[in-house]
Amino acid sequence: MQRSLKFEVFRYAAIAAFLALSLIPTLWMISMAFKPIAEWQSTGADLTWWPKNPTLDNFRFIFGESSSDMISALERTAGRPILASLLSAGFGTVIAMLAGTSAAYGLSRFGYGGNLPLALVQLRLFPPMAVMIPVMIMWAFLGLIDSWIGLALIYGIVTLPFAFWLMKTFFDDMPREIEDAALVEGCSRWRVFLRVTLPMMRPALASSALFIFILNWSDYLIALLLTTRDWVTIPVYMASLSSSMTGQLYGAKAALGLIAAVPPVIMGIAIQKQLVRGLTFGALKE
CA distance 34 to 182: 57
Which of 42, 67 has the CB closer to other proteins? 42
Measuring CA to CA, which residue among 154, 156, 167 is closest to residue 108?
167
Run of H or E including 243: strand 242-243
Report the nearest approach of other proteins to the CB of residue 203 (Å): 19
Distance CA 63, CA 81 (A): 11
Smallest gap from Cβ 249 to other proteins, in A, equals 11
Smallest separation, CB 102 to other proteins (Å):
4
Q: How far apart are CA 235 and CA 101, in angstroms?
A: 29
Instruction: Give the nearer residue to other proteins in terms of CB position, either 65 or 173.
Output: 173
Quick one: 56 or 276, whose CB is closer to other proteins? Answer: 276
- Report which DSSP code applies to 190: H
Q: How far is the CB of 66 from other proteins (least distance, A)?
A: 21
Q: Supply the minimum distance, in Å, between the C-beta of residue 41 and other proteins.
A: 7
CB of 5 to other proteins, least distance (A): 12
Q: Which is nearer to other proteins, 91 or 105 (CB)?
A: 105
- Residue 69 three-state SS: coil
Per DSSP bridges, beta strands 242-243 and 247-248 are antiparallel
* Cβ count within 10 A of residue 245: 8
Please tell me the distance from the alpha carbon of residue 265 to that of residue 278, in angstroms, as a whole number.
15
Q: Which is nearer to other proteins, 114 or 199 (CB)?
A: 114
Give the phi and the psi of residue 259 in degrees, each rounded to 5.
-60, -40
Toward other proteins, which CB reaches closer, 74 or 96? Answer: 96
